[in-house]
Structure 1
Amino acid sequence: MHEGAELTLPPHSTRHIQVLRLQPGDGLTVFNGEGGEWDATVTRMGRQDVDLRIGAHQPGDCELACPVTIALGMPANERMDALVEKATELGVAAIQPLMCARSVLKLSGDRAEKRRAHWQAVAVAAAEQSGRTRVPTVAPILALDRWLADVGPTTGARHVLSFAADAAGPATLLQARGPVLLLSGPEGGLDPREEALARQAGFAPLSLGPRVLRADTAPLAALSLLGLAD
C-alpha cells in the first residue's frame, strides 16, 4: 500500500462502509495490518465492492508493550470464536490453536484449515472494530506434543496455566517486560503428562487464583493482566 494507490476493498470491509452510508468523495482511514493507518477517499460505491484512493500514511499503533502469544487447547462450539474476538480486542499478537488429550474439539485436514481461516477472519473483524492496526496471526492447528517439540527457544517469558502448588501468582504477569508465550489447556485443563512436557520446554507454572476458569476465560484473564503491564 502506498500514497496514490487505487484499492478495491474486500467484501467484509465493503459491508462496513455501506452500513456507514459513505459516498464517493467521503474520507475514511484504512489499515493493512502492518502498523499505522492510511487516509483514504471513496472513489466508487458498488453493490458488492468499494474503490478507494489511498492518501497519506499516519504512523502509530495501540499494541501492547509486551507482545503476547496465546497457545491454547481449543474450546468447543462457539467459544473459540468469542475467544479469538476478545483476545484480539485485548491486544494479543498471535494465537496458536492446539489439540490436547482432554480436548473436546478435534480437527484435521481441510476442516482444520477452514476453521483456522474462519478464526483469522474473526481476528480481522475484531481488529477493525477495536481500532487496532495490526492483525494477530491465527496459526495452523497442531497437536500439543508436536507444538512443544517444535516451539524452540524464544526470548521473553513462558508460562503454563496451572493449579500446581509451586505455580507463581497472577502478579507475575504485571512484571512482564518482554514477549510472553502463554500456554492454556482445554476443557479439563492439561493432563499431568502434558504439563510435565510444558515444564520441560521451559514453561513456568502460573496460577490465576483459586477459582476454576473456563478454557475460554483463563487466557483472556491472563491477557488482561498483561495489558496492565504496559
Structure 2
Amino acid sequence: MRIPHIYQPSELALNVCVQLDDDAAGHIGRVLRMREGDKVSLFNGEGGEYLATLTEVGKKTVTATPYEFVDRCVESPLRIHLGQGISRGDKMDFTIQKSVELGITEITPLFTERRGVKLSGDRLEKKHQQWQKIAIAAAEQSGRNSVPVVHFPKEINVWLKEQSDELKLTLHPRAEHSIKTLPAPTHGVRFLVGPEGGFTDNEMHLTQEQGFVDVRLGPRVLRTETAALTVLSALQLQFGDLTV
C-alpha cells in the first residue's frame, strides 16, 4: 500500500516532532482516517522527503515524527512556465492539476481580451488560493517533492513584457513551426495558451513584439484545457524527462 505523500510547509528534521498544518491535518484525519502509528511521507519543497510516523491524530491536531530522509527527485530537467488565459468553470482547475502532474514549474493565470471570467477583489484572491491548493494536491498525488508556483493572475501584456531568457512560445493552429523543429532550450521554456475565445490580433502582435515564436501541434484546433497539456507533454517528450 502506498504511503500518503503530504506537503508540510515548515522545517523538517529527523526525530523532531512536527505539527502538521490545517490542510494536511484535515486530509490525514478526516479524509484518509489515519491513526497514530501510521506512516506518511512529508515534503516541504526544499528537496527530498521524510518518512514519518504519526504520533498524534486528533480532531484539530495531527503531529508526526520523521525517522528517515529520502533524497529523491522526480523533477524534470526542463523548467517550464505556462502563461494560461483564464478559462471558465473547472477548466482552469483541470489545467493546473494536470500541468503539475506533467511536470510544470510555474503557472501564471492571465487576463486576456476575450476572457469569459470576471474576477476581482476578494473573489480573485480566493480563486488564486484555490489554484495554489490544487497545485499542492497534484504535487502530493504525483509524488513530487516540490510544489509549482501558481502566480497571482495578471494582464497578458504585463506577463509578455517580463524579462526572460527562456525559449518563448505561443500556441497557434496556423503557425509555421512545430515543437520538433525548435532548438533545445538552455534556460527553460515559457509558453502561452489562450482562453476559450483565443487571442485577438492585437495580442498576437504583442507576442511577436516580445519575441514569442508561434508553434503548432497539428491541423486541429484544441480546446484551451487540452492545448496546454498537449504542449507540455510534447515539450517533455522532446526536451524533458519523457525523452526516449
TM-score, reference length from structure 2? 0.86
Corresponding residue number in structure 2 for 1:159? 169
Q: Distance in 1 between matches of 2:209 and 2:144?
A: 35
Shift of 1:119: 0.3
* 8 Å Cα contact 1:174/1:226 also seen in 2: no
Corresponding residue number in structure 2 for 1:209? 218
When residues 227 and 49 of structure 1 are mapped into structure 2, their CA distance, relative to the original with a 3 A threshold, is farther
The answer to whether 1:218 aligns with 2:230 is no
Shift of 1:187: 1.0
The answer to whether 1:71 aligns with 2:80 is no
Shift of 1:168: 0.8
When residues 172 and 124 of structure 1 are mapped into structure 2, their CA distance, relative to the original with a 3 A threshold, is farther
What SS does the corresponding residue of 2:118 show, helix, strand or coil?
A: coil
Q: Distance in 2 between matches of 1:137 and 1:61?
A: 17
Question: For 1:66-96, what per-residue CA distance to the aligned partner results, in whole angstroms no more than 9, with x for missing partners?
Answer: 0111001111111111111111111111100
Corresponding residue number in structure 1 for 2:5? none
* 8 Å Cα contact 1:170/1:209 also seen in 2: no
Farther off after superposition, 175-184 or 17-26: 17-26
The answer to whether 1:87 aligns with 2:99 is yes
* 8 Å Cα contact 1:158/1:181 also seen in 2: yes
The answer to whether 1:168 aligns with 2:177 is yes
Shift of 1:57: 2.4
Aligned length: 227
* 8 Å Cα contact 1:73/1:185 also seen in 2: yes
After TM superposition, the structure 1 = structure 2 runs for residues 145-156 of structure 1, keeping only pairs within 5 Å, are 145-149=157-161, 151-152=162-163, 154-156=164-166
Shift of 1:13: 2.1
What SS does the corresponding residue of 1:155 show, helix, strand or coil?
A: coil
Q: Distance in 1 between matches of 2:235 and 2:61?
A: 39
| Equivalent position amino acid for 1:57 in 2 | F
What SS does the corresponding residue of 2:119 show, helix, strand or coil?
A: coil
Q: Distance in 2 between matches of 1:173 and 1:52?
A: 47
Match of 1:196 among 185, 189, 205: 205
| Equivalent position amino acid for 1:183 in 2 | L
| Equivalent position amino acid for 1:219 in 2 | A
Corresponding residue number in structure 2 for 1:61? 73
Identical amino acids, percent of aligned pairs = 38
| Equivalent position amino acid for 1:26 in 2 | D
Q: Distance in 1 between matches of 2:96 and 2:65?
A: 31
The answer to whether 1:112 aligns with 2:112 is no
The answer to whether 1:24 aligns with 2:36 is yes
TM-score, reference length from structure 1? 0.91
Aligned-residue CA RMSD in angstroms?
1.9
Corresponding residue number in structure 1 for 2:8? none
